[in-house]
Structure 1
Amino acid sequence: MNCKSYKIALLLISICIFLQSCVPIPAPQKETNNIISPPVTDNKMVHAKGTRIVDGAGKPIKLKGVLLEGWLMWNGTLWGAGLTSETTITKRLEKMAGKEQTRIFRTHIYDHFIVEKDIEMIARLGLNTVRVPFNHTVLEDENPLDEYTAEGWKYLDRLLTWCERHNIYVVLDFHALPGGQGAFVSDPEFINVWHSPVHQQRTIDIWKAIASRYKDREIIAGYDLINEPDAPAGKNLVDLQKRIINEIRKVDKSHMIILEGGRFSSDFSMYDKPLDANQVYSFHTYNFFTDETDEKNLIKLTEIANKHNVPLWNGEFGAHKSSWIENQLKLYQNPKFPINGWTFWPWKRVSENNDRYRDLAKIIPGQDWQKVARGISNLFGPSKSITPEYAKKAMEGFIEAIKAENIVFDEEIKALIKKHSTQ
């Protein structure tokens, strides 16, 4: 996707955000139930303490890191393939290369997109956190059963071990719920999670399984329950979050719960009180139209955080020029805002090489992949000139390009991230 089409894509996203803020929607319905679980005394995990996040020793800590999107959660914008969901990417690749080659490609992405060397490089930047988006399909196969895939657990288990070695906290981020919870990023299906009791129960069950498996892993900083939820009304979001928390707390009393609000994680008006005694509000910050920072929104978020005595954490920001990125980082350091860290989006991606949308680390694929990526993003599907042999070669080249030893840093953005990681 060239710079022009990328700008068009970002414009469409921004229009959606604008329309969502302008078109009347059902007023968020406030919840009045009590907090689900009391605080744990002597909590050895990273946890909330008032408006601060503290480590297992009770020392204040700021979770500063990067988003590992493009690995266990695919997104066309990170692969040079436009506003395409994981399902669309998969179907288009199957059309070009065949199902078996696409299955092999998926395995290679899972095995090579993030390896221990990536975690080591992140640690060398002075960062202490990775936010790990995952699709429900990582743990569920095509016919969800009570048991989850061993392969899915393998990737998460391995990551936790690497992060323990390099002192990098992990935020597990449910980026694509069964059915999807919002726009293309959440890999939506025809019937999304908000309109399907079955999808909701699958979501709850997955979180309970994760919490049961990892309840003793101190390297996990928190459970990010639903990425960028787009519920019909605030009540729908709060109800599902409560049900998830209730099941998590049956098996895991200690890990921090991370809640995202509506309107692309910028609106928290649906909460009139915390849902848990150990929780954080996580907001996202993007600006595709202007160079204005989100200081006005931070003022509103700070009021909510102080009223509820709950920490704030920036779960995503980026996709802008270097001056805006630095101004945002300075805001997050401002003591008048109780911001307990930030996550730069993303760790690595296929770059647009555009000063308006700067990257930390660039994936540089060959022309073969660029042609395949256009086939993924094209409204009418891939060109018939792309043979299975050509697609296979392009996919193999992409796997090489994503490896840690082959990515190329934007040195200016790298310096900014490193500078602010230790402040």
Structure 2
Amino acid sequence: MFQTVDGWLKTSGQIFINEKGQEVLLRGLGVANWLNPEGFLFGGAPFGGVMGRFARSCEFDRGRTMDQFVAELCGPSYQKKFWKQWVDNYFAEADIRKMKEQGFNSVRFPLDARLLLEEEPGYHFIEEHFQFLEHYLDLCEKYGMYVILDMHAACAGQSAVSCDNGVDNQPHLFLDEEGANRTIRLWQELAERWADRWIIAGYDLLNEPISLPEFDCLIPELKAFYDRLVTAVRQVDQKHILFIQGNRFANRLDIFDHDYDPEYHNWAICTHCYETFPDLALFGPILEKRAQWNVPVWMGETGGSSPANPEAGSTWMAVTFEMMMEYHISYNIWCAKALEGVDAAYSVSFCSPDPKGWRQIVDYCAKGTAKPGYAKAIKIFDELLENIKLENCTEQIDRVAAMLRRPGIRVLASGYDTDQEYSGTWPYALYCGYRREDRMHLVYEPGYMPNDLGGLAMMNPHPEKYGDYPHIWLRLEEGDCASYTVREAKEPVSVRLHGMAAGENQIRVSEGEKIIFEGSVPVSNEITAIPAGKTGSGERVVIKIEAVSGSVVLKTVEFC
């Protein structure tokens, strides 16, 4: 299901299938920072910078401002050479091969319109860059990786935040007719050139259009633009899947009120998901829209990260992505590569060049402090170009295990499988409402003060990226049970539970009909690690934990 990259991909009802009619679940990575650099992914300006009704592009936060500062710091001739070397070093054949080895089957290419279409009167396409992309399509075909072309930065800007590389934080695509016309013409050019390239799974037509709530008034313009764009693309390409995103950072589903591809019905709903409780409150509305229009869902951007608490991001991914697989929702993680320690779910990371020197560069761009000399700046940027090569990066093995639910993961016990056996009779719910529909007895970590401020949540003196989620544990009362999955187990996997109990108890861990552990959780007010047997091997291995007698509290389930 995950590795069947075999000929044309298309939609079939609510799933994707390949040319042989086999279901394909896309599990992929987005090549963020490659063709559309974003400052926060390599230690520049934070994401979003200034968000408001009007703000010119900020210091070192997007490609066009980076152009300016690299030229200021290193000179215009170096700037031109720098970006050529950047795109060659940041994402090369070795990176594609590594993605395939890690177990991914697809890759999202975020495109910047200005790299393909000159920002000047008329339609002047940059042939050199089309040929460059053609080369990468060939490499993805060589390694069996479906490609999704993503218009991350459309002509004139569509998101009103820094990731669209606009000249300011305004969604000019929907305000200026010229920007809309140029984006449509560019998509037609892409579709006409690559109409016969089966390795392209489809076209992600706009990334995160009208992201800020203040631009909700432009939803009618967004829907009308999609209708125009789909018609234009289908004139030259009837085969590729069209991925369509809603507003507010692709979280809203309001625009999905009609069939966007009525003649060919080969389109999918594309949503983005970060830091949201993995339960039906998240997936319910998505599944409802999927059923309404009988189309698949592709979670085109997602990922768990928390520099302050790395385990929180990894456990979030392990649970959330497993639910996506249970619901047959494909997903793409943002991103493949980033600076070590930034707030992103990268699978490999690179180091900052000369930390003190890099800080001087960032401060010059952001605060107007002392400018390093040309020679020093060039030395620092040259070091950055070396650091981003895969051979100089660090693979995030534990994080990749969480992304793909492989051995080596630790799953929050409160994130039990929802498509396997679970049973509870607790009639209440936590204040946060997590999985309230399941009647499982969820409890907060002892000593944790939940975020129960409601509408005054901004007053929380210690806010966490994932809120209450990392602090929610599972209590199993006598007769209760919960199930957990580990995937792609090539050999038997050891199970380790982390829990505690207030009194005598007995638990049972089984895989199918086979009992792999019977015993008790030590009576203690501290978390204890309990070895709980070994599973068999298989593409998907499911264990069930039962409370035979007494009551136990489980924090995590580890497959190691």
* TM-score, reference length from structure 1: 0.83
- Structure 2, unaligned runs of 5 or more: 1-5, 47-60, 306-312, 407-486, 489-538, 541-560
Does the CA contact (< 8 Å) of 1:177 and 1:186 recur in 2? yes
The alignment status of 1:250 with 2:239, answered yes or no, reads: no
State which of 26, 31, 54 in structure 1 corresponds to 2:17. Answer: 54
Partner of 1:177: 154
Match status 1:138 vs 2:127: no
Displacement of 1:394 in angstroms is: 1.1
Does the CA contact (< 8 Å) of 1:372 and 1:391 recur in 2?
no
Q: CA deviation at 1:215?
A: 0.3
Q: What is the CA deviation profile of residues 231-263 of structure 1, one whole-angstrom value per residue up to 9, with x for unaligned ones?
A: 543211111111111111111011000001111
Counterpart of 1:11 in structure 2 is none
Amino acid at match of 1:333: M
Match 2:274 to one of 265, 278, 286: 286
TM-fit CA distance, 1:141: 2.7
Q: Which runs of 5+ in 1 are unaligned?
A: 1-42
Does structure 1 retain, via aligned residues, the 8 Å contact 2:9–2:17? yes
> Is this contact kept in 1: 2:338–2:344, CA < 8 A?
no
Query: Which residue of the other structure, out of 317, 326, 346, is the alignment partner of 2:318?
Result: 326
Matched, 1:200 2:172: no
More relative contact order, 1 or 2 (CA 8 Å, 6+ apart): 1
Sort the Cα spacing of 1:357 and 1:402 in 2 relative to 1 into closer, same or farther, 3 A.
closer
Tell me the residue number matched to 1:388: 374
Structure 1 residue aligned with 2:92: 115
Change (3 A) 1:407 1:278: same
Which residue pairs with 1:361 in the alignment? Answer: 348
Q: Please state which structure has a larger fraction of its residues in helix.
A: 1
1:344 corresponds to: 333
Counterparts of 1:68 and 1:376, CA distance in 2: 28
Is 1:189 matched with 2:167?
yes
- Please give the secondary structure, in 1, of the residue aligned with 2:278: coil
**Residue equivalent to 2:58:** none
Shift of 1:108: 0.8
Partner of 1:227: 207
Letter in 2 for 1:160: L
Structure 1: distance between partners of 2:132 and 2:121? 19
Deviates more, 1:45-54 or 1:211-220: 45-54
Report if the CA contact (8 A) 2:304-2:316 is conserved: no
TM-score of the pair, normalised by structure 2: 0.63
**1:282-328: per-residue Cα shift (whole Å, max 9, x none)?**
111112xxx73364121101001101101111111114221111111
| Greater strand content | 2
SS class of match (2:34)? coil
Q: Which deviates the most, 75-84 or 139-148?
A: 139-148
Contact 2:28 2:105 in 1 (8 A): yes
Q: Which residue, 117, 128, 137 being the options, matches 1:151?
A: 128
The alignment of Structure 1 onto Structure 2 pairs a total of residues equal to: 371
Shift of 1:155: 2.0
Aligned match for 1:402, one of 378, 385, 388: 388
User: How much has 1:86 moved relative to structure 2?
Assistant: 1.5
Q: Which amino acid in 2 is paired with 1:241?
A: Y
Identity %, equivalent residues: 25
Residues 1:89 and 1:294: Cα distance change in structure 2 (over 3 Å): farther
- Measure the CA separation in 1 of the matches of 2:19 and 2:358: 46
Question: Bigger CA drift: 80-89 or 46-55?
Answer: 80-89
Task: Say if 1:227 and 1:260, in contact at 8 Å, map to a contact too.
Answer: yes
Matched, 1:127 2:104: yes
The Cα of 1:170 is off from its aligned counterpart by 0.1
Distance in 2 between residues matched to 1:131 and 1:376, nearest whole Å: 33
Aligned to 2:68: 91
> 1:358 and 1:343, CA in 2 relative to 1: closer, same or farther beyond 3 A?
closer
Q: Is 2:226 the counterpart of 1:241?
A: yes
- Contact persistence 1:130–1:169 (CA under 8 A): yes
C-alpha distance in 1 between matches for 2:83 and 2:316: 35
Deviation at 1:194, TM superposition (A): 1.2
The CA distance in 2 between the partners of 1:163 and 1:376, in whole Å, is: 39
CA contact (8 A) 1:295 1:331 kept: no
- Counterpart of 1:328 in structure 2: which amino acid? T
Which of structures 1 and 2 has the bigger CA Rg? 2
